[in-house]
Structure 1
Amino acid sequence: MAKSVVFLFPGQGSQYYRMGIELYERHSGFREWMDRMDRRLYQSTGRSVVLELYGSGRKSEEPLDHLSYSHPAIFMVEYALAQVMMENGIYPDLVLGTSLGEFASCAVAGVIDWETALELVANQADAVRNTCEPGGMIAIVSDPALFTQAAELHTNTELAAVNDQSHFVVSGTSEGIRQAEAYLKQTRIAHQVLPVRYGFHSASIDAAETAYKPSLTGIHVNRPQVKLVSGLYGMGITSLSSDYVWDAVRHPIRFREAMQRMNPSEHICVDLGPSGTLANFTKHLWKQGSGAHVYSVLSPFQKDLDRLQTTIRRIRQA
């Protein structure tokens, strides 16, 4: 039996300035999709993601954490890369997004069109930015059980994601994040404060719900045309409501649970996010020797065109 192709789409925390720059400069298909979406966004918001990403002079190591740009930038890069894969004959049998990545997942699956997805992404960024107090998120390299064991974590933050057996994310207010970081530094537990100014997947963004929900009214939601595995529910779903794109950024991510439901030997996973984060988690979850094929294309260290061509060739040969 031929292996099924899985497109993976991560969310906030994976982004950086100049992500995809090599493809934008050297791959006409990627550039065409980025420019097309950028024109659409500029018409509605007056903001250019392409100019911010590639023309602002910012370096890749600088945090891309202004929500008005980072939110649509993640969607645009992921959706454009998915289109490049499909234009090269690599079509997904299954899509899985986490958090903001659910927008790209839903658009690729035909649940909503890309124009609607981009508008909803921009509206969500504005709603959060205009109504919520600053917050943050921390990725922690440790057993997720630590969250319930350490009062310094669960008292002041919420569990935002469990990605594998040694990686989880907490989220909360700025004060909660400062307290959690102080504990992690004191105990010398490896962690990374993500380039996110708000506490997604926690109560600290609840104020945005009232402002955002009206933009979901009247949105036509189709049944997925491609099998859709939910990072929100941790399983495959066949129908969803327009509220799904809010719930996906408010409630915890269940990536580990979703991937554990799959048989590694039956799938080829391709991470279409900016940093290959979901590919790394998948490799940890699916042990070496399981028969799994896991790839990523974009990286802060560039050589994206080489990786794109190599990934397409390997999938065709699998």
Structure 2
Amino acid sequence: MRKMAHLFPGQGIQKVGMGKYFSRTVENLLMAEDPKLLEVAWVGPQEELNKTINAQPAITLMQVSLAEDLDKPDLAVGHSLGEYAALWEAGVWDLQSLYKVVKARGYYMQELCPDGWLIALRDRESADFVVNAFKGRVFYSNINSQRQVLVGGIIEDLPAVEATLKEERIAYKRIQGNKPFHTPYLEKASKAFYEFLLTVEGKDPAFDVYLNIADDVVTDYGEIVKLLAESLAKPVDWTRTVAFLESKNFDMLVEINLDPLLAKLTGQKVVLVHELATL
């Protein structure tokens, strides 16, 4: 049998109309728990869907819909939010518990984080420069590849940061959203989310799930809960996940998504879930 890993992307892939990819099971859940989210996923508006409290459960439930009939992989990984669908696939939570977890995660990240920004830079050297120039104010958020590094901070520092980047002729791009996710500015959200997770019943994973913050497979539910909460306030280093995947010599990597995203950041051959039927 082929050795396979499933890859689940994170926030940012939400778009109006994604509701048509929801399975009947997911639709039934939302009709009972959150009919407004079901409507927003179908018809928008996009601004409402982009809100973290809506985007996170919508993305996760779409991933559940795409993965629920697949054979279980040998390993599941996720980029930030994607780790929650990976854990669901491994049997850590049932669908209703998963929905409650990602809804709460979205709420705490949206409400308990100051307004801010994320900027994408082209290399680690540029990111190091900005973080050091604004030490204690600007932090790493995502290291997606050697060519895409995100840093973030609070809104009042943005004019000075942009002025410095322009003065140093460092190319950058503002990222959609107004929160400095995966930085120490989410410490309050992290603590609140941990207290919430302690109330949610879960199981140890039925197969391997790699958590980026741990830089390894984690098998104990109590440890998973602790790490998930901590990860809100710490950067995501996707390059570590890529290195882990490379070390395990998988025969196939499958991205659980409608369009390639992690495939572009992984540096290995990755197929989309809908392509499996043709292989």
> TM-score range, shorter-chain basis?
0.7 to 0.9
The alpha-carbon distance between structure 1 residues 19 and 157, as it changes in their structure 2 partners (threshold 3 A), is farther
Structure 1 distance, partners of 2:28, 2:135, is 43
Q: Deviations over 1:149-187 (max 9, x none)?
A: 334465532112212221112122223445444444555
2:270 to 289, 294, 302: 294
The alpha-carbon distance between structure 1 residues 139 and 114, as it changes in their structure 2 partners (threshold 3 A), is farther
Bigger shift: 232-241 or 74-83?
232-241
Aligned partner of 1:302 in structure 2 is none
**Distance apart, 1:280 and its partner CA:** 0.8
Q: Deviations over 1:222-252 (max 9, x none)?
A: 2211211112222222224222332232222
2:36 to 45, 48, 51: 48
SS of the equivalent of 1:50 reads helix
Contact 1:10–1:100 (CA<8 Å) still a contact in 2? Answer: yes
Contact 1:229–1:235 (CA<8 Å) still a contact in 2? Answer: yes
What one-letter code is carried by the residue in structure 2 that aligns with 1:130? Answer: E
Aligned partner of 1:311 in structure 2 is 276
**Distance apart, 1:202 and its partner CA:** 1.0
**Distance apart, 1:64 and its partner CA:** 4.2
SS of the equivalent of 1:118 reads helix
The alpha-carbon distance between structure 1 residues 171 and 93, as it changes in their structure 2 partners (threshold 3 A), is same
SS of the equivalent of 1:160 reads strand
Contact 1:9–1:101 (CA<8 Å) still a contact in 2? Answer: yes
Aligned partner of 1:247 in structure 2 is 230
TM-score, scaled to structure 2: 0.85
Aligned partner of 1:9 in structure 2 is 8
1:69 to 31, 54, 70: 54
**Distance apart, 1:216 and its partner CA:** 1.7
The alpha-carbon distance between structure 1 residues 218 and 69, as it changes in their structure 2 partners (threshold 3 A), is closer
The alpha-carbon distance between structure 1 residues 37 and 136, as it changes in their structure 2 partners (threshold 3 A), is farther
Structure 1 distance, partners of 2:106, 2:175, is 17
Structure 1 distance, partners of 2:203, 2:140, is 31
**Distance apart, 1:295 and its partner CA:** 1.9
Aligned partner of 2:210 in structure 1 is 229
How many matched pairs? 275
Contact 1:37–1:76 (CA<8 Å) still a contact in 2? Answer: no
2:190 to 193, 209, 221: 209
SS of the equivalent of 1:121 reads helix
What one-letter code is carried by the residue in structure 1 that aligns with 2:243? Answer: Q
1:268 to 233, 243, 252: 252
For the aligned residues, what is the CA RMSD? 2.7
Query: Identity, % of aligned pairs?
Result: 21
Bigger shift: 92-101 or 177-186?
177-186
Q: Determine if the alignment matches structure 1 residue 278 to structure 2 residue 262.
A: yes
Gaps of 5+ in 1: 287-292, 298-307
Contact 2:182–2:235 (CA<8 Å) still a contact in 1? Answer: yes
The alpha-carbon distance between structure 1 residues 177 and 83, as it changes in their structure 2 partners (threshold 3 A), is farther
2:26 to 28, 34, 53: 34
